[in-house]
C-alpha cells in the first residue's frame, strides 16, 4: 500500500530532519561526541533513586500508578512553588501546570495558537526542538536579530510593529545553541516591549540552574507575568528520562493548554511526578544542583581553555557563565557542515550550526559544542583534534586544488 | 490581557468538554461512581513494584533515567514481541513503537493524516478520548452503523465507497463505551473491505486481555497488517499512571508517527518503559492478568445480575464477555442526561451516553456503566438505587405534572 497520498498537508513540514541523519555516526565506537544536547549520566542522583521510590510507595501507594489530573500531580505542583520562588517567581500551586518534558508545552502553545501561516518570532539561531514542535502547525518564522547577549530589543520592537506574530519564542538564559544570556537590563526592555505591543512571550528556561559563574538572573516572566508563558523542566537537574516539564501561562491560555495536553497524553506519568515531588520536597534537588555544577564547571573550563589553545585565530566563540553549550563561528567562507565529515573521520563529532537556523543558507560557518558529556581530559583531547581539523579547513582549498 | 483573539482556528474544536463538567461531582464524598473509565487500584501489582524498580536499577542503571530513542526503549520493544505473538501478531521488535499512553498515537495519526475537513469514519457511539485527540486537526466525522456486535460491514463498505475518509477508527473488542465485540467472521469481512478499498484502519485494542468468558479473538490487524495501525496499551494490565502505549503501523506511516511524536514529547519515559520491560519479560504480566480477571469478572457478574433484578423492563443492555463497561439503553423518549442529576442526588454517578456520539442529539436515552472500580456488594447497591431512579424517570412525567 502507498499511504503517501493519505498524508495531511502539514506533514510535509515534519520532514525527517537532516540533523538526525548527520548525527547517526555519533555513537560509533571511539567517537567523542561534542554533538550531544544531553546531561551527563553522572549528573543523575542514582544513589537516592531507591530511597525516592520507597518514599513514593509509602506516601502515595497505588495512587502513584493510577490515572491522574491533566494539570499535574498535586504534590509536585506544591513542591514547585518554593522551587519557582527561588527564581523570583511567586505563584500558587494551582497556576503551575505539568507537561511531558518541556517539549509537551512547546507542542501545546503552537497547537492552540498557530493557524497555518501565522508568525512566530524566533532568535536566529534558535532551539531546534522548538522548531520541531512548531513546524507541524505550519507557522511562518520571523527572524529576530541577535548580538553577543542574545536577542536585540530594537529588532523585537520592529518585528512586533511590522509583522503579525502570534508569539515570540526566546531562550534567555544559556541559550541552546549559543549559550548566550540576556542581561537584566535587556530582560526588562524586552518585557516592556512585549507588554507595549500586547504581545505574547514564550520564555523557555531549561538551563538557568546550571550556572557556573556570576549571579542568577530573574526570568523575563517576572517583569511581564501577564504576557509570558514560562516553561522549565527537571531534565537537566534530575533526570531527562522521567520527562517532567512544567509551565505557567496567563488565562485563558492555561486552560487551553490543559485541553490540548488532554488530547495528546491525558496526563504526564504519575509515578515520575511523584518521584519529582519527593526529590524537590525532600531537599535533594538543591544538593544535587551543587553536585551537577561542580561536575560541569571544570568541563566547561577545560573546553574553553583548549579552544583558546587549539582553535584557529580566525574563530570566535561564546564564553557562557553556565548551560551546556559553546557556540563557535569561523571565517564566513567556511562550511562547517563539510568540515563535520572530516572531524568524524578523526572521531570527534559536533553539530554544524546551520541546523539551528530557520532560513536555509544561514549559519554555515557556525558550530555547537557540548561540554557536559565527557570529562576534562577527553574534552581537551577532542578540542585539540578538532582544532587541527579546523586549521586544515581554513587553508584556502582552491590553492590546494590548483596544485 | 485578552488572549482569545490569539487562538488558532483549530482551538475552537477543543472546547472544554461538557463531560468534564458533568463528572466534577463524581468524587464527592459517598458517591458510588459507575462513571469511571479507569482500572481498579487493586489491579496494580503493588507487591512487586519495589522488586521491579530494583531490577531496573541493576539491569539498566542510569540508562533508565537518560534521554532515549523516540521509537521506544529497546528492551521493552523486545519484550513486546512475544506479548504480541500471544495475540496472533508476529512482528519484529523494530516494528513496535512506543507512545505515551495509546492517547499519544491517536494524536499522532490525526496529526500526520488529517487536513481540516478530511473524513474519519467512526462507530456511533465511539471512544471519547479518540475524539478529543482527533478534534484539534479539524476532521469531519463519518458515522458507521452498528448493531449488537459493533460496526456493520455493509455500512463500512458504503462509507468507503461514497465518502472520502482518511482512516476508519474502530475499537473491535469490548468497545468503550458499549463493551461490544466483533466476531471473527466480521473481523475478516472488515479486513477485506478495508483492503479492497485500499483504506486505512486504526484498530484500538486496550481491553482484549480483560476477558472473563469466551475465547480470545484475533485482532483485525492479523487479517490486514498492511492496512492497519494497531494500537494497544499497558494501562489496563499494568498501571495507567506509567503512560505506556504501543503501536504498529505500515510504512511510511510508522516513520511519520515517530517524527510527530518527536515534536510532542521527544520520547516516552525511559524509566517507565524499563519497568514495563521487566514486568513483561519477567513473566509478571501473565500472572497479573489472571488476578485482574478474577478481580473484575465477579464485579461484572454482580452488575449484570443486579441490572436484571432492578432495571426497568423497558431497558436493554450489553452483556460483554470482558472489558470495563456495560452500555444500557432506555426508552427513546428518556433523557438520561437529565436523569443523571437525579442519580447523583442519590449518590450514584454514570456517564450519559450522548457524550460518546459525534453528532448532537444522538444517544440521549443511553448510558455507560463501569464495573471495575467498586466491589460486588457496592455495585449491587448502586444498581438498585439507579434502578429506582430510572423507574421513577420512565413514569411519563407529563402525567405527574398534570396532577
**Which residues fall within 8 angstroms of residue A345, CB to CB, at 6 or more apart?**
none
C-alpha grid cell, residue B3: 488572549
Yes or no, beta carbons of B41 and A63 under 8 Å apart: yes
Residue B403's pLDDT is: 44
For residue B141, give the C-alpha cell.
Answer: 466525522
A260: nearest CB among B4, B14, B62: B14
* For residues A44-68, average pLDDT: 97
Determine the distance from the C-alpha atom of residue B255 to the mean position of all C-alpha atoms in its chain, rounded to a whole number: 24
> Which residues of chain B does A132 touch, with a Cβ-Cβ cutoff of 8 Å?
262-263
**Whether B102 contacts B127, CB under 8 Å:** no
Work out the pLDDT band at B36, boundaries 50, 70, 90. confident
Q: Which three cell numbers stand for residue B348?
A: 450514584
> pLDDT tier at A392 (50, 70, 90 boundaries)?
very high
Q: What are phi and psi of B276, to 5 degrees?
A: -65, -40
Q: Tell me if B137 and A253 make a contact (CB, 8 A cut-off).
A: no
> The C-alpha cell of A142 is what?
520571523
Per the listing, cell 518534558 goes with A101
The mean per-residue pLDDT over the stretch B251-269 comes to: 95
pLDDT band at B402 (very low <50, low <70, confident <90, very high): very low
Query: Backbone phi, then psi, for A140, in 5-degree steps?
Result: -110, 130
Distance from CA of A150 to the nearest CA of B (A): 25
Rounded to an integer, what distance in angstroms lies between the CA atom of residue A31 and that of residue B308? 69
The shortest C-alpha distance from B225 to chain A (Å) reads: 10
Q: Which of A9, A114, A133 sits opposite B8 (nearest CB)?
A: A114
The whole-model pTM stands at: 0.95
Q: Chain A contacts of B260, Cβ < 8 Å?
A: 14, 136
User: In the prediction, which pLDDT does A17 show?
Assistant: 67
User: In A94-131, which positions are buried (b, 16+ CB within 10 angstroms) versus exposed (e)?
Assistant: ebbbbbbbbbbbbbbbbbbbbebebbbbbbbbbbbbbb
**ipTM here:** 0.95
In angstroms, what CA-CA distances link B278 with B15, B51, B244, B381?
39, 10, 13, 40
Chain A positions touching B62 (Cβ under 8 A) are 41-42, 44, 46
User: What is the per-residue pLDDT for A36?
Assistant: 87
- What is the per-residue pLDDT for A396? 64
All cell numbers assigned to A37: 544536547
Q: Is the pLDDT of residue A6 over 60?
A: yes
3-state SS assignment for residue B46: helix
The residues near B335 (Cβ < 8 Å, ≥ 6 apart) are B364, B365
Read off the C-alpha cell for B85. 505473538
Look at residues A42, A88, A304, A116 and name the one whose alpha carbon lies nearest to residue B9.
A116
> What HEC string does A220-240 produce?
HHHHCHHHEEEEEECCCCCCH
Q: How confident is the model at residue B28 (pLDDT cuts 50, 70, 90)?
A: confident
Give per-residue pLDDT as tens, B150-179.
Answer: 999 999 999 999 988 999 999 999 999 999
* Cβ contact, residue pair A3, B200, below 8 Å: yes
**Does position A379 have pLDDT exceeding 80, yes or no?**
yes
Q: A120-179: per-residue pLDDT in tens?
A: 999 999 999 999 999 999 999 999 999 999 999 999 999 999 988 999 999 999 999 999
Cβ under 8 Å to B: A residues 41-70 = 41-42, 44, 46, 49-50, 53-54, 57, 61-68
Q: Check if the beta carbon of residue A389 is closer than 8 Å to that of residue A341.
A: no
In this structure, of A19-33, A90-104, A327-341, the range with the lowest mean pLDDT score is A19-33
- With beta carbons under 8 A apart, name residues in chain A contacting B98: none
Strands (E), B234-314: 244-248
Q: Is A145 on the interface with B (CB under 8 A)?
A: no
Per residue in A97-109, pLDDT tens?
Answer: 999 999 999 999 9
Summarised one tens digit per residue, pLDDT across range A266-289 is 999 999 999 999 999 999 999 999
What percent of chain A is predicted at pLDDT more than 90? 89
Residue B27 confidence (pLDDT) above 90: no
pLDDT of A403 strictly over 50: no
In B182-237, DSSP assigns E strands to 201-204, 228-233
Q: What is the pLDDT of residue B21?
A: 74
pLDDT score for B1: 72
Q: How many CB pairs under 8 A join A and B?
A: 231
pLDDT at A24 over 80: no
* Average pLDDT of the residues in B201-216: 98
pLDDT above 60 for B56 = yes
Q: Is B103–A266 a contact, with Cβ atoms under 8 angstroms apart?
A: yes
Name the region of B125 (left: φ>0; alpha: ψ -120 to 50; beta: rest): beta
To 5 degrees, how large is the angle CA B205–CA B210–CA B212? 135
Q: Nearest residue on chain A to B39, judged by CA atoms?
A: A66
Find cell 497505588 and name the residue.
A62
Radius of gyration from C-alpha coordinates of chain B: 22
Distance CA A377, CA A290 (A): 22
Answer yes or no: do B272 and A269 touch at CB < 8 A.
yes
Residue with cell 537556523: A357
CB contact under 8 A, B14 and A68: no
Q: Is B241 on the interface with A (CB under 8 A)?
A: yes
Of B4, B53, B259, the CB nearest to A16: B259
- Is residue B286 within 8 Å of B68, Cβ to Cβ? no
Closest CB to B7 among A101, A112, A243: A112
**Does B262 reach chain A within 8 Å, measured CB to CB?**
yes
Alpha carbon distance, N-terminus to C-terminus of chain B: 54
Tell me the domains of chain B and their CATH numbers.
Answer: 13-43+290-394 (3.90.1150.10), 46-282 (3.40.640.10)
Residue by residue, DSSP assigns B334-384 as: --HHHHHHHHHHTTEE-EEGGGG-SSTTTTTTEEEEE-SSS-HHHHHHHHH
The 10s digit of each residue's pLDDT in A131-145 is 999 999 999 999 999
Residue B366's DSSP bridge partners are: B329
Q: How many CB atoms lie within 10 A of CB B18?
A: 12
For strand A165-170 and strand A201-204, is the pairing parallel, antiparallel, or unpaired?
A: parallel
Grid coordinates representing A25 are: 555516526
A367 SS3 class = strand
- Give B264's contacts in chain A (Cβ within 8 Å): 100, 103-104, 107, 133, 264-265
With contact defined as beta carbons under 8 Å apart, do B66 and A236 qualify? no
B65: three-class secondary structure by DSSP: helix
Chain A positions touching B10 (Cβ under 8 A) are 111, 115
Residue ranges of alpha helices (H) inside B114-215 are: 128-134, 153-162, 184-196
Going by the DSSP 8-state scheme, the letter that residue B324 receives in this structure is S
Buried b (16+ CB within 10 A) or exposed e, A51-88: ebbebbbeebebbbbbbbbbbbbebbbbbbbebbeebe
Determine the distance in angstroms separating the CA of A35 from the nearest CA of chain B, rounded to an integer. Answer: 14
Q: Residues B336-370: pLDDT tens digits?
A: 999 999 999 999 999 999 999 988 899 999 999 99
- pLDDT(A45) > 90: yes
Contacts of B86 (CB under 8 A, 6+ apart): none
Whether A109 has its CB under 8 Å from any CB of chain B: the answer is no
| Model confidence band, residue B3 (pLDDT cutoffs 50, 70, 90) | confident
User: pLDDT of B72-119, one tens digit each?
Assistant: 999 999 999 999 999 999 999 999 999 999 999 999 999 999 999 999
The per-residue pLDDT for B397 is 53
Alpha carbons B300 and B320: distance in angstroms, whole number: 9
CA distance B183 to B150: 9
pLDDT over 60 at A247, yes or no: yes
Spacing of C-alpha A241 from chain mean position = 15
A240 to chain B, minimum CA–CA distance in Å?
Answer: 6
- Rounded Cα–Cα distance for residues A289 and A238 (Å): 9
B298 touches chain A (CB under 8 A): no
Amino acid at each position: 500500500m502507498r499511504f503517501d497520498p493519505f498524508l495531511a498537508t502539514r506533514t510535509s513540514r515534519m520532514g525527517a530532519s537532516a540533523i538526525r541523519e548527520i548525527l547517526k555516526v555519533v555513537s560509533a565506537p571511539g567517537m567523542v561526541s561534542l554533538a550531544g544536547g544531553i546531561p551527563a549520566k553522572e549528573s543523575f542522583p542514582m544513589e537516592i533513586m531507591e530511597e525516592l521510590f520507597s518514599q513514593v510507595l509509602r506516601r502515595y501507594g497505588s495512587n502513584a500508578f493510577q490515572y491522574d489530573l491533566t494539570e499535574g500531580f498535586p504534590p509536585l505542583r506544591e513542591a514547585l512553588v518554593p522551587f519557582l520562588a527561588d527564581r523570583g517567581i511567586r505563584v500558587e500551586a494551582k497556576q503551575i501546570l505539568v507537561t511531558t518534558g518541556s517539549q509537551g508545552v512547546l507542542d501545546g502553545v503552537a497547537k492552540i495558537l498557530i493557524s497555518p501561516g501565522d508568525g512566530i518570532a524566533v532568535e536566529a539561531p534558535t532551539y531546534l526542538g522548538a522548531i520541531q514542535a512548531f513546524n507541524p502547525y505550519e507557522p511562518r518564522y520571523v527572524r529576530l536579530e541577535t548580538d553577543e547577549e542574545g536577542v536585540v530589543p530594537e529588532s523585537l520592537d520592529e518585528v512586533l510593529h511590522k509583522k503579525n506574530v502570534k508569539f515570540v519564542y526566546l531562550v534567555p538564559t544559556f541559550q541552546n545553541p549559543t549559550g548566550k544570556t540576556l542581561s537584566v537590563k535587556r530582560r526588562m526592555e524586552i518585557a516592556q516591549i512585549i507588554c507595549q505591543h500586547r504581545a505574547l512571550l514564550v520564555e523557555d528556561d531549561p538551563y538557568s540552574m546550571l550556572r557556573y559563574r556570576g549571579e542568577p538572573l530573574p526570568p523575563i516572566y517576572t517583569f511581564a507575568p501577564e504576557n509570558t508563558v514560562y516553561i522549565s523542566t527537571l531534565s537537566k537537574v534530575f533526570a531527562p528520562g522521567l520527562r517532567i516539564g512544567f509551565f505557567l501561562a496567563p488565562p485563558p491560555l492555561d486552560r487551553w493548554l490543559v485541553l490540548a495536553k488532554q488530547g495528546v497524553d491525558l496526563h504526564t506519568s504519575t509515578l515520575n511526578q511523584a518521584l519529582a515531588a519527593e526529590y524537590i520536597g525532600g531537599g535533594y534537588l538543591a544538593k544535587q544542583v551543587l553536585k551537577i555544577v561542580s561536575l560541569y564547571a571544570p568541563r566547561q573550563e577545560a573546553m574553553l581553555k583548549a579552544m583558546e589553545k587549539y582553535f584557529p585565530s580566525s574563530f570566535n566563540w561564546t564564553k557562557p557563565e553556565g548551560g551546556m553549550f559553546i557556540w563557535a563561528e569561523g571565517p564566513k567562507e567556511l562550511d562547517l557542515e563539510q568540515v563535520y565529515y572530516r572531524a568524524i573521520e578523526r572521531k570527534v563529532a559536533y553539530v554544524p550550526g546551520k541546523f539551528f537556523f530557520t532560513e536555509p543558507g544561514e549559519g554555515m560557518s557556525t558550530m555547537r559544542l557540548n561540554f557536559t558529556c565527557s570529562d576534562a581530559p577527553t574534552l581537551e583531547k577532542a578540542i585539540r583534534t578538532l582544532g587541527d581539523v579546523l586549521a586544515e579547513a581554513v587553508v584556502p582549498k582552491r590553492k590546494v586544488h590548483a596544485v
